[in-house]
Structure 1
C-alpha cells in the first residue's frame, strides 16, 4: 500500500526549493512563542525572516545578512484534529475529495512537527464519537495517523460534527499544545464560539477550512447534485438558474463572514483551501498570520 506520508513529502518537495521550505520551517518554529530555545547555528537570510534574528556582527564579517537558528530544548505536542464525518467524503471546490486535501494538510503540519523534534497526536471522528491516538514521535507513527483519517472518512460515516472532537479535547487534554484543526465549511454558532474561547485560553489553535464545491452555475446544469450531509437533491436545472446562483452566493458570503468573525473574536487564525495544490501556500500564510497576530 502506497505511503500517505511519502505522498505528502513528495508534494512538499515539488512545492518549493530549499529556501522556501526553510521559511516554512521557520514559520512553524515561531508558533510556540514561549518555547525554550538554544542557539544552534547561522544561515543566510531569506525574505520573510525576522529582522530581530539577524546576527549583525557575524553578518558584518560574512558580508551578507546571517540569521541565528535555534533548537527547542524541550519537545512540544502538536494535536491534529480532523473531521472524519461524511461531509469530508464530499467534493471540494477544486474537484478533489475533501478527505484527500485534509490528509495533505495534516501530513504537512505533522511532518514539520517531526522535523522540529515535536510529538504528534490525533483526535478525529464524527457525530457518533471521537477517537484519540496519543502523541508520539516518528514517521511511522505519523503514517498511522494519516491512515486513520483516510480510512475513517467515507460516505457511510456518521454526520460531521467537529464540535464533538473539540469537546473531547477540552475534556481530556491537559497542558498547552498546538491544535491544528481541519474541517469543512461551517456556519458560526454561539456554542462553538464558547468552546473555541475555552480551548484558546489553554492552547495555540490553527484552523484550516476546506471549501465546499460550488454547486451552482452553468456548468452544473447538465447534472443533479446531492448533499452528502442529508441527501438533499439540487436539480441541475435549478443550479443553472441565475436567481438560485445569486441567492447561493449571498448565503455563502454571509456564512463566511459569520465564521470569520467568530474565529476573530475567539482569537483563532483561520485559513482556507480549495484543493491540495494550495495547501503549502496557505499553510505558510496561516502560520505567518498566526505569528503576527501573537
Structure 2
C-alpha cells in the first residue's frame, strides 16, 4: 500500500511553495512560545537577573532573594484527537470523503510536528470505543497513525460521539500536550462544553472542523448519521432548502459563540484544496488568541 504520509507530503509541496511551508513552520513553533520552559531549581539572586524570575514566597522564607531557574523543553507532544465514527465517512462540502480530508489534516499537522522534532500521538474513536496511541517521534510512527485512521473510518462503522474521546483525554492522557481535534460540524452541548473547558486548562486545544456537504437533492442520498434517506421532493423544494439553510446558519452562529466562550481556536475546511490555508489560519488564531472562524452550512450526506 502506498505511503499515506508520502501522499500528504506530495500534496503539501504541490499546493505550498517554500515561503508557505516556512510560515507554517513558524506558526506551529509559535504555539508553544512562552510554554517551552520547565522549572529546574532555585538559586540566589545575582545582579542582572530578571526581577520577574524572583520567587517571592521562597525569598520571604529564606530571607534573601531567590530566583527560579528553568531548562528548555526540547521536545513537545502533539495529540491528534480524531472522530472516526461513521459520519466521518460522509461527503464534505468539497464532495470529497471527510475521511480523506481528516487523514490529510492529521498528516499535515503531524508532519509539522515531526519537522520540529516533536512526538505525535492519536486518540480516536466512536460512540462504542476510544483508542489511544501515545505520542512517539518519527515519520514511521506518523505513517502508522494515518493508516490507523484509514482502516477505522467506514460507512458501516459505529456512530460518532466525539464527547467520548474528550472524556477519555481528560481521564487518561497525562502531561501537557497540544491537542488538535479533527471532527465534522459537532455542536457541543452543556456536557461537552464542561469537558472542553477542563481540557483547555490542562492542554493547548485547537479544533479543526471539516464542513459537511450541503443538503443533497439526489434521491439516493442518505443521512449517514441516522441512515434515513432524504425524500427528493423535500430536498429539491426551494422553501425547504431556504429554511434548512437559515436554520443551519443560526446553528453555526451558535457553534462559533460556544468556541469563543471557551477560548478555543476553531477553523473550518471545505476540503483538501483549502486545507493548508485553514491549518495556517488555525495556528495563527490560536497564537493570537482570536475567536473562531466564519460560518459553514451543515449537510453530512453521502451521495
TM-score by length of structure 2 reads 0.82
| 8 A contact 2:221–2:230 mirrored in 1 | yes
**Equivalent residue, structure 2, for 1:117:** 117
**Which of 267, 270, 275 in structure 2 is aligned with 1:271?**
267
**Equivalent residue, structure 2, for 1:199:** 199
**Equivalent residue, structure 2, for 1:284:** 280
* Count of residue pairs brought into register by the alignment: 256
Structure 2 distance, partners of 1:195, 1:265, is 13
Structure 1 distance, partners of 2:160, 2:98, is 12
Structure 1 unmatched runs, 5+: 38-71
**Which of 255, 260, 270 in structure 1 is aligned with 2:256?**
260
Structure 2 distance, partners of 1:190, 1:77, is 29
Structure 2 unmatched runs, 5+: 38-71, 291-303
2:67 aligned with 1:78: no
2:233 aligned with 1:231: no
Cα shift at 1:186 = 1.8
2:181 aligned with 1:181: yes
Structure 2 distance, partners of 1:244, 1:88, is 25
Post-superposition Cα deviations, 1:241-281, rounded to whole Å, max 9, x if no partner, equal 11111111112112111111111111100011111111101
**Equivalent residue, structure 2, for 1:47:** none
The secondary structure found in structure 2 opposite 1:243 is: helix
Structure 2 distance, partners of 1:130, 1:212, is 23
The secondary structure found in structure 2 opposite 1:272 is: strand
**Equivalent residue, structure 2, for 1:43:** none
Structure 1 distance, partners of 2:135, 2:97, is 27
Post-superposition Cα deviations, 1:217-258, rounded to whole Å, max 9, x if no partner, equal xxx2x5342011111221222111111111111121121111
| 8 A contact 2:8–2:104 mirrored in 1 | yes
Structure 2 distance, partners of 1:19, 1:186, is 33
| 8 A contact 1:215–1:225 mirrored in 2 | no
| 8 A contact 1:93–1:212 mirrored in 2 | yes
| Larger mean Cα displacement after TM superposition, 258-267 or 136-145 | 258-267
The secondary structure found in structure 2 opposite 1:23 is: helix
| 8 A contact 2:219–2:230 mirrored in 1 | no
The secondary structure found in structure 2 opposite 1:120 is: strand
**Which of 225, 236, 240 in structure 2 is aligned with 1:240?**
236
Runs of 4+ in structure 1 displaced over 4 angstroms? none
| 8 A contact 1:205–1:269 mirrored in 2 | yes
Structure 1 distance, partners of 2:156, 2:97, is 15
Structure 2 distance, partners of 1:242, 1:230, is 23
**Which of 245, 251, 269 in structure 2 is aligned with 1:249?**
245
Post-superposition Cα deviations, 1:49-95, rounded to whole Å, max 9, x if no partner, equal xxxxxxxxxxxxxxxxxxxxxxx741000000000000001011111
**Equivalent residue, structure 1, for 2:45:** none
Structure 2 distance, partners of 1:132, 1:15, is 31
In structure 2, the CA distance between the partners of 1:128 and 1:164, relative to structure 1 (3 Å rule), is: same
